[in-house]
């Protein structure tokens, strides 16, 4: 857990499809970078190093973003500053577009937030969801119990019997798994009724989505940028 609070975990794709792609890649022809291409990359690094000394400022609406960040895990204390740095890095690269002279300062834009979010969202979500092994195991346990019962939801006492642990430990495991969005409440709260659970789609939304930030941020009425993964144009309009 000490390493998890200092690093972002990148989880490997262990699917059969990914293994097949790796095997096929062994036969693909790949040419190394030419000397001229290496010179270009070195020049890019020098330009970035020079411009990285310029102050990069966050817009005021970033405080509203911070208020909507999911805080169910201590790792968020390091992940959020790391994401802010990612936004600043995107804005630094973007600042070269259309700038004839070195600017005195750079401000992070909504498009920088959106691009950084689209690049890192999946990694943050998987790191927060899969790193808690006990919660992942409990999700599997609840899935197994529910499957034996034809899909019916599971109680803390069911977990207690299945794992052979004290009831208070079962409740604590359930609480953590709920916080990590690995299981979910299956019945509406009512006076005197016991809480029942089912497996949930394993995904934590750490940061507010770009479309939600666009609605609350003081930005232009229309923002257009290129999706960093698909290369397609993305447009947000009020």
- Over residues 92-139, the pLDDT tens digits come to 999 988 766 778 899 999 999 999 999 988 888 777 776 567 888 898
**Given pLDDT bands bounded at 50, 70 and 90, which one contains residue 3?**
low
Q: Is residue 110 classed as helix, strand or coil in its secondary structure?
A: helix
| Higher pLDDT among residues 7 and 28, named by residue | 28
Q: How many CA atoms lie within 13 A of 154 on its CB side?
A: 28
67 vs 63: CA distance, rounded Å: 6
Average pLDDT over residues 46-72: 92
- Mean pLDDT for the stretch of residues 137-155: 91
The whole-angstrom separation of Cα 208 and Cα 192 is 35
pTM to 2 decimal places:
0.69
- Per-residue pLDDT at 200: 83
Question: Taking the domains of the chain in order of start, what are their residue ranges?
Answer: 33-128+208-237, 133-199
Q: Up-side HSE of residue 92: CA atoms within 13 Å toward CB? A: 18
71: number of Cβ within 10 Å: 12
Predicted confidence (pLDDT) per residue in 164-220, tens digit: 999 999 999 999 888 877 888 998 887 777 899 999 876 778 899 999 999 888 788
**DSSP three-state, residue 151:** coil
pLDDT confidence of residue 99: 62
Which residue is listed with tokens 């006076």? Answer: 191
* CB 184, CB 200: distance < 8 Å: yes
Which residues face 107 on adjacent strands? Answer: 57
Fold (topology level) of 133-199: Arc Repressor Mutant, subunit A (1.10.10)
Q: Are 57 and 108 a contacting pair, CB within 8 Å?
A: yes
Question: Using an 8 Å Cβ cutoff, are 144 and 161 in contact?
Answer: no
pLDDT of residue 94: 92
């Amino acid at each position: 857990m000490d390493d998890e609070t200092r690093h972002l975990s990148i989880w490997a794709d262990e699917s059969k499809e990914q293994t097949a792609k790796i095997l096929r890649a062994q036969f693909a022809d790949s040419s190394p970078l030419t000397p001229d291409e290496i010179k270009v990359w070195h020049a890019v690094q020098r330009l970035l190093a020079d411009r990285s000394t310029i102050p990069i400022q966050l817009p005021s609406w970033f405080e509203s973003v911070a208020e909507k960040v999911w805080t169910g895990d201590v790792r968020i204390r390091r992940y959020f500053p790391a994401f802010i740095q990612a936004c600043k890095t995107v804005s630094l690269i973007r600042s070269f577009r259309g700038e004839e002279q070195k600017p005195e300062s750079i401000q992070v834009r909504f498009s920088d937030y959106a691009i950084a979010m689209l690049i890192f969202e999946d990694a943050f979500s998987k790191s927060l969801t899969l790193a808690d092994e006990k919660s992942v195991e409990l999700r599997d346990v609840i899935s197994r119990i529910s499957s034996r019962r034809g899909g019916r939801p599971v109680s803390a006492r069911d977990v207690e019997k299945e794992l052979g642990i004290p009831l208070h430990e079962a409740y604590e495991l359930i609480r953590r798994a709920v916080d990590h969005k690995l299981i979910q409440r299956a019945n509406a709260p009512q006076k005197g009724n016991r809480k029942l659970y089912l497996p949930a789609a394993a995904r934590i939304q750490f940061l507010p989505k770009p479309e939600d930030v666009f609605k609350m941020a003081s930005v232009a009425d229309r923002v257009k940028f290129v999706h960093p993964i698909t290369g397609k144009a993305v447009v947000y309009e009020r």
